[in-house]
Amino acid sequence: MPHAAVLAPAIADPVQPILDLVSSLIQSARAIDHFIDNQPNPYSPTCQQLRRKEQSIIDSANDLSELAIQQITESISDAVTHLQSNIDAATETIKQIASTKKAITIVAALLAAAAGIASGGTLAAVPAILTLASQVYAAVASANG
Amino acid sequence: MNPTAWGMNRAASAALLLLLGACTNLTAVSTFATLGSNATSNTTAIDSHLPAAQERARMASPERIVERKQQAIQAADQVKVADLGMKTLSLYFAVLAQLSSDKTIDVKSSAASIAGSLKSLGVIEPTISAPATSLITLLLTVPLDVWRQEASAKLIDGANEYVLKLGVALKDFAENTANVYDLDISQANVYYRDLATRSTDPAIRVMLDEWRVQHIMTYAKARDQAKVLAQALTQIVQGQSDLYDKRTELTGAELRRLLARYQDDIFSAAKLF
Name every chain A residue with its beta carbon within 8 A of the beta carbon of B82: 72-73, 76
Our CA-based measurement puts residue A144 at a distance from the nearest CA of chain B, in whole angstroms, of 23
SS3 B121: coil
Please give the pLDDT value at position A4. Answer: 54
Mutate to test the interface with A, among B70, B77, B154, B165 (most CBs of A within 10 A): B165
Q: Greater confidence, B112 or B2? A: B112
SS3 B60: coil
Our CA-based measurement puts residue A102 at a distance from the nearest CA of chain B, in whole angstroms, of 9
Interface of A with B in 73-112 (CB under 8 A): 73, 75-80, 82-84, 86-87, 89-91, 93-94, 97-98, 100-101, 104-105, 107-109, 111-112
Distances from the Cα of B123 to the Cα of A90, A109, A132, B110, B131, angstroms = 39, 16, 21, 17, 14
Which of A2, A11, A91 comes nearest B227 by C-beta?
A: A2
Please give the pLDDT value at position A131. Answer: 66
Please give the pLDDT value at position B1. Answer: 41
Q: Greater confidence, B20 or A19? A: A19
Which of A47, A48, A75 comes nearest B169 by C-beta?
A: A75
Interface of A with B in 26-45 (CB under 8 A): 26, 29-30, 32-33, 36, 42-43
Question: How confident is the model over A13-39, as pLDDT tens digits?
Answer: 999 999 999 999 999 999 999 999 999
User: Per-residue pLDDT for B3 more than 50?
Assistant: no
Residue B133 falls inside a structural domain: no
Lowest mean pLDDT among A128-137, B36-45, B245-254: A128-137
Average pLDDT of the segment spanning B37-66: 94
The 10 Å Cβ neighbour count of residue A46 is 12
Q: Greater confidence, A117 or B177? A: B177
Counting the structural domains of chain B, the total is 1
The answer to whether the Cβ–Cβ distance between A48 and B179 falls below 8 Å is no
- What residues contact B40, with CB distance under 8 A and at least 6 apart? B86, B89, B90, B93, B170, B233, B236
- What residues contact A122, with CB distance under 8 A and at least 6 apart? A116
Name every chain A residue with its beta carbon within 8 A of the beta carbon of B183: 22, 26, 29, 58, 61-62, 65
Question: How confident is the model over A68-89, as pLDDT tens digits?
Answer: 999 999 999 999 999 999 999 9
What is chain B's mean pLDDT, rounded?
Answer: 86
Question: For chain A, how many residues are written?
Answer: 145
Distance between CA atoms of B42 and B89, rounded to whole angstroms? 11
Q: Please, which pLDDT band fits residue A41 given cuts at 50, 70 and 90? A: very high
Average pLDDT of the segment spanning B138-166: 89
Distance between CA atoms of A91 and B117, rounded to whole angstroms? 33
Ordered DSSP codes for B192-251:
HHHHHHT---HHHHHHHHHHHHHHHHHHHHHHHHHHHHHHHHHHHHHHHHHHHHTTT-TT
Which of B104, B190, B234 comes nearest A51 by C-beta?
A: B190
The answer to whether the Cβ–Cβ distance between B61 and A8 falls below 8 Å is no
User: Per-residue pLDDT for B233 more than 70?
Assistant: yes
Distance between CA atoms of A108 and B133, rounded to whole angstroms? 12
Please, is B162 exposed, middle or buried when counting C-beta atoms within 10 Å of its C-beta (0-12, 13-18, 19+)? buried
Residue B98 falls inside a structural domain: yes
The answer to whether the Cβ–Cβ distance between A118 and B121 falls below 8 Å is yes
Which of A2, A66, A112 comes nearest B224 by C-beta?
A: A2
Lowest mean pLDDT among A124-133, B15-24, B233-242, B264-273: B15-24
Please give the pLDDT value at position B2. Answer: 44
Please give the pLDDT value at position B135. Answer: 81
The answer to whether the Cβ–Cβ distance between A65 and B224 falls below 8 Å is no
Distance between CA atoms of B243 and B206, rounded to whole angstroms? 55
Helix H or strand E encompassing B3: none
User: Per-residue pLDDT for B156 more than 90?
Assistant: yes
- What residues contact B156, with CB distance under 8 A and at least 6 apart? B96, B240, B243, B244, B247, B250
User: Per-residue pLDDT for B46 more than 70?
Assistant: yes
Residue-number span of the structural domain to which B238 is assigned? 25-102+151-270
A114 touches chain B (CB under 8 A): yes
Pairs across A and B, CB distance < 8 A: 224
The answer to whether the Cβ–Cβ distance between B151 and A54 falls below 8 Å is no
Average pLDDT of the segment spanning A85-95: 92
Please give the pLDDT value at position B248. Answer: 84
Question: How confident is the model over B200-227, as pLDDT tens digits?
Answer: 899 999 999 999 999 999 999 999 999 9
What is chain A's mean pLDDT, rounded?
Answer: 84
Please, is B157 exposed, middle or buried when counting C-beta atoms within 10 Å of its C-beta (0-12, 13-18, 19+)? middle
DSSP code for B127:
G
Q: Please, which pLDDT band fits residue A115 given cuts at 50, 70 and 90? A: confident
Task: Enter the pTM of the model.
Answer: 0.83
SS3 B120: helix
Helix H or strand E encompassing B9: none
Ordered DSSP codes for chain A:
-PPPP---TTS--TTHHHHHHHHHHHHHHHHHHHHHHTSS-TTSHHHHHHHHHHHHHHHHHHHHHHHHHHHHHHHHHHHHHHHHHHHHHHHHHHHHHHHHHHHHHHHHHHHHHHHHHHTT-HHHHHHHHHHHHHHHHHHHHHHT-
Residue B81 falls inside a structural domain: yes
Q: Percent of chain B scored above 90 by pLDDT?
A: 58
Q: Please, which pLDDT band fits residue B258 given cuts at 50, 70 and 90? A: confident
Is the ipTM higher than 0.90? The answer is: no
